[in-house]
Structure 1
């Protein structure tokens, strides 16, 4: 503002002491200096107002978190979509006695004790569903027998081997603990030997339709590695032995603990 007054005073003074032409020249120079000073001041004001750095986004981008997509990624949820193998051991209790008939059409009935069992399987985990092929084995001891209505202290064993295709539903819980339900169908292979006072009789070997149901609980200890405990019911239909006699095999209830390893 002070500079503007000085330039204006000089212009007026020039008009008083100079010739008209000189006064006009002085006035023009003063006007030019005032215009340059005004442009310089406006440029400084614009620069002081433009404090936003170039290429600065309106809002900073947030780092993306890895999301669970049903694959082998870091997550609080179990892994999915992989092949696996599993093994388990446990116990099996007979749900019924073995029944059959002799060559004289006598009714035979063999009472069984509980026994140990083992299972191996291989399959594929897809999302919350699994499909597998399982082989299980149990061998029950005979503790008593009856022929018609008369009881005898028979001994021996009856073994069952089942080959089943199973399907499971792992119930999602939002954590690595998951209950599950399973069903399976396939074939049961049975054989047995009965002993009495040094004599041994062979029940023969046969196969029949088999089915099972399971309920269990699993926990992912390591990525694609699950420990589990399960309860199951295994049913096996009647079969004919080598002598052509119908034999009713033992259905069984069992509990197993095991581990499933994915790769």
Structure 2
């Protein structure tokens, strides 16, 4: 019986020692802050007329459900984000990220109604005013650009840090979340759209970190972020709804501070 008791205690101790490496895998929680430039892709805006637009003396009626589209090019913008995460000694990291980006409109072009390009038509076709040779064309009005798009998203990310045996660690990651897109289009200071919409979004990341100390590291990162659906934005100039694309590349740098752990 004494021998059995000793054997049992020895087995228990061995199991406890075997569990120690697993418990030591956790490297601990961290917080991070980063900022950089946002490089938005052009938006192929597309939607439709929601209600019939009556005819005028100069222009014909536009029926409900008529397709509406144009292209928007954006300026380079900025991006900031904050992260709260947990790192493991096996290279995995999980984190929650809040991300914000903003960029201005460079120009709009190629406005089509019912598949017909109307850039060379009198801009009164949109305002339903009187046609006049002195009026600018649709293309001239929208080419002025003006406006901005801002995005706020919450993401759950998973990363894998590639161990190099040094303070330098490349990494890759991916995230899923939800993003709100706020659109303001005001070409030639004419309000065309000013609203927001949200949808699910995803992001893919690659970067590298450098450990300054056991608790602090710097990192640089490339992120590609996009929504899974266009933002449906009701227009203010016309009774129409426009789908606006939101996809962007982000180049950023930041700092992470670890708490506790090994």
TM-score range for the pair, normalised by the shorter chain length: 0.5 to 0.7
Partner residue in 2 for 1:158: 149
Q: Distance in 1 between matches of 2:189 and 2:249?
A: 31
Matched, 1:117 2:79: yes
Which one has a larger percent strand, Structure 1 or Structure 2? 2
- Displacement of 1:137 in angstroms is 1.0
Q: Which residue of 2 aligns with 1:261?
A: 257
> Are 1:193 and 2:156 matched, yes or no?
no
Cα distance in 1 between the residues matched to 2:70 and 2:169: 44
CA distance in 1, matches of 2:73, 2:48: 16
Give deviations 1:141-173, integer Å, cap 9, x for gaps.
111112224232221001111211000000011
Task: Report the equivalent of 2:67.
Answer: 105
In structure 2, do the counterparts of structure 1 residues 188 and 253 end up closer, same or farther at CA, with 3 Å as the change threshold?
same
Contiguous gaps of at least 5 residues in structure 1: 1-68, 73-78
Corresponding position of 1:64: none
Task: Please give the per-residue CA displacement for 1:99-137, whole angstroms capped at 9, x wherever unaligned.
Answer: 133536321322111111111110111111110011111
Question: Are 1:181 and 1:214, in contact at CA under 8 Å, matched by a contact in 2?
Answer: yes
Q: Give distance in 2, aligned partners of 1:197 and 1:179.
A: 46
Larger radius of gyration: 1
| 8 Å contact kept, 1:98–1:250 | no
Q: Shift of residue 86 of structure 1?
A: 0.2
Change (3 A) 1:119 1:224: same
TM-score, normalised via structure 1 length: 0.66
Partner in structure 1 of residue 106 of structure 2: 143
The change in CA–CA distance for 1:81 and 1:70 in structure 2 (over 3 A counts) is farther
The residue that corresponds to 1:82 in the other structure is 28
CA distance in structure 2 between the aligned counterparts of 1:224 and 1:239, rounded to whole angstroms = 40
Q: How does 1:225-236 map to 2 (within 5 A)?
A: 225-236=216-227
Give 1:209 shift: 1.3
Q: CA deviation at 1:259?
A: 0.1
Q: What is the SS of the residue equivalent to 2:201?
A: strand
- Partners of 1:98 and 1:92 lie apart in 2 by 18
* C-alpha distance after superposition, 1:165-200 (max 9, x if no partner): 000000011111110001000111101111133321
For normalisation by structure 2, the TM-score amounts to 0.66
Give the secondary-structure state (helix, strand or coil) at the position aligned to 1:222: coil
Change in Cα spacing, 1:200 to 1:246, as seen in structure 2 (3 Å) is closer
1:95 counterpart residue number: 41
How many residues get paired?
Answer: 189
- In 2, the alpha carbon distance for the partners of 1:96 and 1:80 equals 42
Q: 1:109 to 1:227 in 2, by over 3 A?
A: same
Residue in 2 that maps onto 1:218: 209
The farther-off stretch of 103-112 and 222-231 is: 103-112
Q: Which one has more relative contact order, counting CA pairs under 8 Å at least 6 apart?
A: 2
Gaps of 5+ in 2: 1-20, 50-65, 120-138
- Out of 230, 234, 240, the residue aligned to residue 232 of structure 2 is 240
1:65-80 to 2 correspondences below 5 Å: none
- 2:246 corresponds to which residue? 250
Moved over 4 A (4+): 69-72
Q: CA deviation at 1:212?
A: 0.6
Root mean square deviation of aligned Cα:
2.3
